[in-house]
Chains A and B, each alone.
Chain A
Amino acid sequence: MAAAGVPHTPAFPELANRPEGTDIRERYAAVAHVLDAARPDVLCVFTSDHINTFFLDNWPNLAVIAADEVSGPLDEVPGVARTRIPVHADLAAHLYETCVRRDFDPALVLDAAVDHSVVVPLHFLNANRPLPIVPIHVNGMIAPLPGPRRCLQLGAAVADGIRTFSPRLRVAVVASGSFSLEVGGPAVHAGATYGVPRPDWAARVLSHLRYGRHAALAAETTPRLLAEAGTVAGELLSWLGMLGAAEGLKLAHLDYREGEGHGFVAWRE
Chain B
Amino acid sequence: MASSPGASDIRGLRAAYTVNRLCHRLHRDPDLVRRLREGPERALADWPLTAEDRRLLLTGDIAALYGRGAHPVLLVRIAALSLFGVTADDYSRRIRTAGRRGGAPRAPTDA
Contact = CB atoms under 8 A, between A and B. Distances in A.
Contacts of A141: 71, 73
A237 B102 CA distance: 20
Contacts of B74: 51, 184
Contacts of A183: 72-73, 76
B80 to A, nearest CB: 7
Interface string A46-73: 0000111001100000000000000000
Q: Contact residue range for chain B?
A: 35 or more
Interface string A151-166: 0000000000000000
Nearest to B72: A184
A184 B102 CA distance: 15
In this complex, which of A74, A231, A232 has the most chain B Cβ atoms within 10 angstroms of its Cβ?
A: A231
B97 to A, nearest CB: 8
Nearest to A61: B4
Contacts of A193: 76, 79-80, 88, 91-92, 95
A190 B92 contact: yes
Contacts of A130: none
A221 interface: yes
B8 to A, nearest CB: 5
Interface of B: 2-9, 13, 17, 20-21, 24, 27-28, 66, 71-76, 79-80, 88-89, 91-93, 95-100, 102, 104-107, 110-111
